[in-house]
Amino acid sequence: MLCPRSCGANRALGSRGVCGANDTLQVARAALHFWEEPPISGEAGSGTVFFSNCPLHCVYCQNNKISSGNVGKVISRERLAEIFFELEAKGAVNINLVSPTHYVPQIIAAIDAARADGFALPFVYNTGGYETVETIVSLEGYIDIYLSDLKYTSVELSSRYSGAPDYFEKAALALEEMVEQVGSYSLEKGVGTSPDLLKKGVIVRHLMLPGQLEDSKAVVRHVWGRYGDDICLSLMNQYTPCADSARFPELTSTVSEAEYSALIDYALDLGVGNSFMQEGGTATESFIPAFDNEGV
């Protein structure tokens, strides 16, 4: 019952949920990551833990190797806590938990163990946004930064591409709780030439899909209208075609420069201040790391 699928799988007895996970932790990579938003990555890199499996299974997922559960290594909660310290020793500015929803109980236990041994780096909860309020509530005091997608407002799109007609409803409620927990977006001034770092706050990511300018505008309108500059919007044009071209022919192209420019102009016209925007040419696989069990 950790995610809105509410599949009821008894994972303690080995059953696997819609996400594909049972009660064992599966991690595909734990390494410094430099491709997040600048206040997350900093100069030294974000200590990123990529968890295998996923509740959403979006048809265009760029990380489908891990979201499908086909790669990754089974580890203990104790090993996860050790990984946090190893990433810190490499210079990580935070611990970035990617696709963590279906492992929240194990993650909480690992954070407790690490903090009992003096661990003090901030934790980033990097999610597709499809969360229950109850699961986010359980993370209060554990998570410092929420890095959450808001993929769609359209029921039609969320049904077609993620099999989740309630996506926006659930994601919007979860986002409310995230902001309530960690407060307004604010940066800690970097020393010298070092970039400013985010220690607490919420970044909402939106990956624009080809041909879906109006829904992308609706996402921006909702987030800005509800939170203003209390959150940061990250508007991405890096969609890389990888969906089944026969079933989803509309997803075989990249986002056009004209579409993305129109979205940026719309956001700026609304008055969006705290934001990240991407330059052209980002639709490549260069943003996808090797899921080879490094650091696991």
Q: Note the pLDDT of residue 283.
A: 56
Torsion sign over Cα 239, 196, 42, 82: negative
Determine the distance from the C-alpha atom of residue 231 to the mean position of all C-alpha atoms in its chain, rounded to a whole number.
Answer: 15
Counting Cα atoms < 13 Å in the Cβ hemisphere of 141 gives 5
Dist. CA 54–CA 61, nearest whole Å: 10
pLDDT in tens, 115-144: 999 999 999 999 999 999 999 999 999 999
CATH topology of domain 20-287: TIM Barrel (3.20.20)
Please provide the average confidence, as pLDDT, over all residues in the chain: 94
Residues 161 and 60: their CA atoms lie apart, in Å, by: 7
- Residue 286 pLDDT exceeds 60: no
- H or E element that contains 270: helix 257-270
Q: Which two tokens stand for residue 61?
A: 């997922």
The neighbour count for residue 70, using CB atoms within 10 Å, is: 13
CA distances from 277 to 68, 144, 203, 294 (A): 29, 23, 12, 30
Q: What is the mean pLDDT of residues 6-18?
A: 94
Q: Which residues contact 287 (CB under 8 A, 6 or more apart)?
A: 35, 62, 238, 240
Burial of 188 (0-12, 13-18, 19+ CB in 10 A): exposed
173-232 per-position pLDDT tens digit = 999 999 999 999 999 987 676 789 999 999 999 999 999 999 999 999 999 999 999 999
Q: Which sign, positive or negative, has the C-alpha torsion 245, 246, 249, 251?
A: negative
Say whether pLDDT at 284 is over 60. no
pLDDT bin (cut points 50, 70, 90) of residue 290 is confident
Please say if the pLDDT value at position 282 is more than 80.
Answer: no
Q: For residue 53, is it left (φ>0), alpha (ψ between -120 and 50) or beta? A: left
Name the residue ranges covered by the structural domains of the chain: 20-287
- 214/211 Cα distance (integer angstroms): 8
Residue 287: the pLDDT is 62
DSSP 144-176: SEEEEE---S-HHHHHHHHS-TTHHHHHHHHHH
Q: Has residue 281 got a pLDDT over 70?
A: no
Q: What is the pLDDT of residue 288?
A: 73
